[in-house]
């Protein structure tokens, strides 16, 4: 690729493709590594600054090709569903832990300067206090959360022992355009919007009073860009969220306001591995990364509905 490049693993996925677009828009030369098991080629633009490597993060050959000449890695590739991880724990360990370790080793050997790791609020599990801050002892209650915590620990170890700068970002319930509503395991907002567009009832797991700190995807992109360049933060972990929480019932109400009509609802049993409540303390990300969520929950809902309607 000539000049030093940026690599986005999982770059054809929901979050990764938004990150790729932002990197290209600022003039970076970008390489994507994706096995297209869930990512989509049509999420990626036809751009002279973009190169795509079709491959798996567990494949040493694909990693060598993808990392050649790379300065910064954004590691988005992962299996993501909490309930699916309960069904398939080995697969989640293999992709999310073994895949991350192989990427770290290959990045070290390729002379990468910094790797930004996509972690998750799932590492916290059920906690007795809110908001959740980074000094709390993680207590994941799903294999997905456990796999992300293992990835964080490997990142911190590589920062300590091998000279590879790493930063881990704990995402809280990301939503926005390109999130797949057709998946059984997709996020609640995408599923609600898809159902509302068809005039079907929205499905609420449990009583609907469980709460989440929802984060619009452009806020996550901004956090990644900052985490890649801010000095003095290697080996650290940061919450990336908005610092506010909404219940599933709140989402149905607010989407009803956006659609201009009340949304019919149906309740189903709760999902295994789901925590009851999340709320992030984002003070560390504000102070250390200069992070500030530019798009709040309600505006994010409006943008997402518009994108799903076009």
pLDDT value of position 186 = 66
Check if 185 is active-site: no
**Radius of gyration over every alpha carbon of the chain, rounded to an integer in angstroms:** 19
Please state the φ and ψ torsions of residue 243, each to the nearest 5 degrees: 75, 30
pLDDT confidence band for 4 (50 / 70 / 90):
confident
Helix extents (H) in 142-296: 143-161, 188-198, 217-229, 248-259, 283-289
pLDDT at 2 over 60: no
pLDDT given at position 1: 47
Mean pLDDT (whole number) for 86-104: 98
pLDDT digits (tens, 9 = 90+) for 295-306: 999 999 999 999
Q: What is the DSSP letter of 93?
A: I
Tell whether the model's pLDDT for residue 173 goes beyond 50: yes
Q: Which of 144, 154, 216, 246 is catalytic?
A: 144
Please give the CATH number for the structural domain made up of 5-172+217-241+281-293: 3.40.50.720
Query: What values do phi and psi take at 93, rounded to 5?
Result: -65, -45
| CA atoms of 84 and 144, how far apart (whole Å) | 8
The neighbour count for residue 29, using CB atoms within 10 Å, is 20
**For residues 109 and 111, what is the distance between their CA atoms, to the nearest angstrom?**
6
Angle at 69 between CA 14 and CA 231, to 5 degrees: 70
pTM: 0.95
DSSP state of 178: T
**Digit-coded pLDDT (tens) for 34-61:** 999 999 999 999 999 999 999 999 999 9
Spatial separation of the C-alpha atoms in residues 188 and 175, rounded to whole Å? 9
């Amino acid at each position: 690729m000539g000049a030093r490049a940026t690599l986005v693993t999982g770059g054809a996925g929901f979050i990764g493709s938004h990150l790729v677009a932002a990197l290209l828009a600022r003039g970076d030369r970008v390489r994507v590594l994706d096995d297209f098991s869930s990512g989509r080629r049509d999420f990626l633009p036809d751009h002279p600054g973009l190169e795509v490597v079709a491959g798996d993060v567990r494949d040493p050959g694909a990693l060598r090709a993808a990392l050649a000449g790379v300065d910064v890695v954004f590691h988005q590739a992962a299996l993501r569903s909490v309930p699916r991880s309960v069904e398939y724990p080995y697969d989640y360990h293999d992709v999310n832990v073994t895949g991350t370790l192989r990427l770290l080793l290959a990045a070290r050997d390729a002379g990468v300067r910094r790797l930004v790791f996509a972690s998750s609020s799932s590492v916290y599990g059920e906690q007795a206090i809110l908001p959740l801050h980074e000094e709390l002892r993680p207590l994941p209650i799903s294999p997905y959360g456990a796999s992300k915590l293992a990835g964080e620990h490997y990142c911190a170890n590589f920062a300590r022992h091998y000279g590879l700068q790493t930063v881990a970002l704990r995402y809280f319930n990301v939503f926005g355009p390109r999130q797949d509503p057709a998946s059984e395991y997709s996020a609640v907002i995408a599923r609600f919007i898809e159902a509302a567009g068809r005039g079907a009832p929205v499905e609420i797991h449990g009583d609907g009073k469980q709460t989440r700190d929802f984060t619009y995807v452009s806020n996550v992109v901004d956090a990644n860009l900052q985490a890649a360049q801010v000095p003095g933060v290697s080996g650290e972990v940061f919450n990336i969220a908005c610092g506010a929480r909404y219940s599933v019932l709140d989402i149905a109400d607010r989407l009803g306001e956006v659609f201009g009509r009340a949304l019919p609802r149906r309740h189903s049993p709760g999902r295994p591995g789901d925590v009851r409540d999340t709320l992030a303390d984002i003070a560390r990300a504000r102070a250390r990364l200069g992070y500030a969520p530019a798009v709040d929950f309600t505006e994010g809902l409006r943008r997402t509905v518009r994108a799903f309607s076009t």
